[in-house]
């Protein structure tokens, strides 16, 4: 037994070493243009924006990963636009699996008689989908279906079997009253020693008439329609995010006493856990917001990209290796996720609180103030405006970044790109796209 333990420990250590080395990478890829790697004098990083061609300035994509919205394939042209280009997001698959497990754990610990509202032996759920062309949304739909046993193989990938989360069909089903859908199947779950069928009764992309996705008011309306169609067949509500989940909770499930699950750990959703909202997932917005600006800062200063991330900076800022990972090959930073339930929600109540571990002020001497451009693609998105933006504001001053915040309407890329008309005025850019395939609409402005 002891031997086994030692072996496991050794293995774990070896693995963590591997993990560490892969996440502690340093210098960005070499600049293809030797003339561009300007004087090795002390100050090039602090140079006025006008001294640096726009095409060589730092570009950080965040929240919406440059990728093909049909296939999910990463847009490596965008991610390697220049040697100062990165993506900051969170681990969509790990978070999606966590959400699925959280839902199943909850259900397995309920009184089955209460849960199955109409006593038909079927646990019926409805699913609010954010954006069918967004990797994060796709992952969450897959994670919920996989955990609930309703997953079917994705025909778009030509699959006939589900071997893992990425194989799951993520399309909305519309409605599936009798279980005849071919996009999902009926699953089973054992609760209190009794086996129940699990059925996805309905799912829909929550897109409003103007085209904005992850739309909370649309979800609030959808639940009314669904309740009209299914009545007490609906036993559970699953949502790709809290904005939509809370819209459903407020419109119906709170009063109806129907378990509702979201994602993001926005402050209002966490507070609602005290009031019957069943759970959400924190994507560590503090870590992501810090990383977004930190990577920009490091790229501007021309220092090791992991400064203040894997290694402390001069002011003592550093991230714990358990809260993020870095994939050097694709230049992507991912925050990790944590489940927030009735057991632990109290420590998540303020989603906008600054993290003391990385709130130490940089000195002007080390990191002179620079002006940067940053957009939020949708001025009404709950997570981005209520959680992410306040977190960005916690760290912009700390990192001596004078950020111009631009807000889009959630549906028109040009509404945002038009406001990138004078890139000369900025030292770097942080980009939150409307559509994940549209990176070129931004980078072309920098050519
Ligand atoms: C969040 C959603 C949000 C979306 C916007 C996701 O990571 O979970 O709440 O609407 O980003 O892109
Ligand atoms: Ca039922």
C-beta of 324 in contact with ligand 1 (< 6 A): no
Task: Indicate which residue's Cα is closest to atom 11 of ligand 1.
Answer: 63
DSSP conformation class of 338 = E
If residue 373 lies in a helix (H) or strand (E), which one and from where to where?
strand 370-376
Mean pLDDT of the chain: 91
C-beta of 62 in contact with ligand 1 (< 6 A): no
Q: Which of 93, 282, 351, 381 to mutate to test the pocket of ligand 1 (most atoms within 8 A of CB)?
A: 381
For the chain, residues with pLDDT lower than 70 are 1-50
| Residue 341 alpha carbon to ligand 2 centre in Å | 24
Q: Which of 91, 214, 216 to mutate to test the pocket of ligand 1 (most atoms within 8 A of CB)?
A: 214
Q: Which ligand is nearest to the CA of 206?
A: 1
Tell which atom from ligand 1 comes closest to the C-alpha of 213: 10
Residue 65 vs residues 74, 92, 165, 206, 332: alpha-carbon distances, Å: 8, 11, 19, 20, 9
| Residue 196 alpha carbon to ligand 1 centre in Å | 32
**pLDDT of res. 34:** 40
The Cα–Cα gap between 114 and 196 comes to: 13
> What does the buried/exposed string (b/e) look like for 378-394 if buried means 16 or more CB atoms within 10 Å of the residue's CB?
bebbbbbbbbbbbbbeb
The Cα–Cα gap between 344 and 346 comes to: 6
**Which candidate, 394, 413, 388, 318, places its Cα nearest to that of 62?**
388
**pLDDT of res. 49:** 55
C-beta of 154 in contact with ligand 1 (< 6 A): no
Q: Burial of 376 by CB count in 10 Å (0-12 exposed, 13-18 middle, 19+ buried)? A: buried
C-beta of 86 in contact with ligand 1 (< 6 A): no
Q: Give the angle subtended at the CA of 177 by the CAs of 175 and 182, to the nearest 5°.
A: 65
Q: Which ligand is nearest to the CA of 231?
A: 2
C-beta of 383 in contact with ligand 1 (< 6 A): yes
**pLDDT of res. 1:** 38
Tell which atom from ligand 1 comes closest to the C-alpha of 130: 10
The Cα–Cα gap between 208 and 91 comes to: 27
Q: Are 247 and 137 in contact (CB under 8 A)?
A: no
Token pair, residue 196, equals 């129940």
3-state SS, residue 12: helix
Task: Indicate which residue's Cα is closest to atom 3 of ligand 1.
Answer: 383
| Residue 130 alpha carbon to ligand 2 centre in Å | 25
**Which candidate, 43, 49, 81, 53, places its Cα nearest to that of 402?**
49
C-beta of 286 in contact with ligand 1 (< 6 A): no
Q: Which ligand is nearest to the CA of 118?
A: 2
Q: Which long-range contacts does 35-41 make (Cβ < 8 Å, 24+ apart)?
A: none
Length of the chain: 447
Decide: pTM greater than 0.85: yes
Task: Indicate which residue's Cα is closest to atom 10 of ligand 1.
Answer: 214
C-beta of 264 in contact with ligand 1 (< 6 A): yes
C-beta of 63 in contact with ligand 1 (< 6 A): yes
**pLDDT of res. 39:** 42
> What does the buried/exposed string (b/e) look like for 125-156 if buried means 16 or more CB atoms within 10 Å of the residue's CB?
bbbbbbbbbbbbbbbbbbbbbbbbebbbebee
Q: Which ligand is nearest to the CA of 263?
A: 1
**pLDDT of res. 105:** 98
Residues 6+ away with beta carbon under 8 Å from 192 = 110, 111, 112
**Which candidate, 85, 84, 87, places its Cα nearest to that of 63?**
87
Half-sphere exposure of 105 (CA within 13 A, CB side): 15
Tell which atom from ligand 1 comes closest to the C-alpha of 134: 12
**pLDDT of res. 51:** 85
C-beta of 61 in contact with ligand 1 (< 6 A): no
């Amino acid at each position: 037994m002891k031997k086994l333990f030692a072996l496991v420990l050794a293995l774990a250590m070896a693995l963590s070493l591997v993990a560490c080395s892969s996440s502690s990478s340093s210098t960005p890829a070499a600049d293809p243009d030797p003339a561009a790697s300007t004087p090795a004098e002390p100050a090039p990083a602090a140079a006025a924006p006008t001294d640096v061609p726009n095409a060589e300035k730092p570009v950080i994509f965040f929240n919406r990963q440059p990728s093909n919205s049909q296939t999910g394939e990463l847009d490596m042209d965008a991610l390697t636009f220049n040697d100062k280009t990165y993506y900051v997001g969170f681990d969509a698959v790990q978070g999606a699996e966590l959400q699925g497990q959280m839902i199943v754990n909850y259900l397995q610990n309920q009184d089955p008689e209460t849960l199955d509202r109409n006593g038909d032996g079927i646990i019926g759920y409805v699913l609010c989908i954010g954006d069918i062309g967004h990797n994060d949304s796709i992952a969450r739909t897959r994670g919920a279906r996989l955990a609930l046993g309703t997953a079917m193989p994705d025909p778009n990938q030509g699959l006939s079997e589900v071997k893992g989360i990425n194989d799951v069909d993520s399309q909305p089903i519309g409605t599936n009253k009798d279980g005849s859908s071919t996009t999902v199947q009926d699953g089973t779950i054992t609760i209190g020693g009794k086996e129940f069928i699990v059925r996805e009764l309905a799912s829909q992309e929550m897109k409003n008439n103007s085209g904005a996705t992850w739309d909370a008011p649309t979800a609030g309306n959808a639940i009314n329609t669904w309740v009209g169609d299914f009545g007490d067949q609906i036993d559970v509500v699953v949502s790709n995010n809290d904005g939509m989940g809370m819209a459903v909770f407020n419109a119906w499930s709170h009063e109806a006493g129907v378990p509702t699950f979201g994602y993001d750990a926005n402050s209002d959703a966490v507070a609602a856990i005290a009031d019957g909202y069943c759970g959400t997932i924190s994507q560590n917005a503090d870590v992501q917001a810090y990383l977004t600006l930190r990577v920009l800062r490091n790229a501007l200063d021309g220092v090791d990209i992991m400064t203040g991330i894997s290694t402390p900076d001069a002011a003592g800022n550093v991230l714990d290796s358990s809260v993020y990972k870095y994939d050097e090959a694709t230049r992507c930073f991912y925050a990790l996720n944590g489940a927030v339930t009735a057991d632990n929600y109290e420590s998540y109540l303020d989603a906008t609180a600054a993290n003391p571990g990385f709130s130490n002020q940089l000195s002007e001497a080390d990191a002179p103030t620079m002006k940067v451009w940053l957009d939020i693609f949708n001025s009404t998105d709950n997570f981005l405006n209520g959680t992410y933006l306040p977190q960005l504001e916690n760290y912009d001053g700390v990192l001596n970044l004078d950020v111009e915040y631009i807000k889009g309407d959630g549906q028109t890329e040009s509404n945002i790109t038009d406001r990138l008309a004078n890139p000369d005025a900025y030292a770097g850019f942080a980009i939150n796209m409307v559509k994940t395939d549209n990176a070129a609409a931004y980078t072309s402005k920098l050519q």
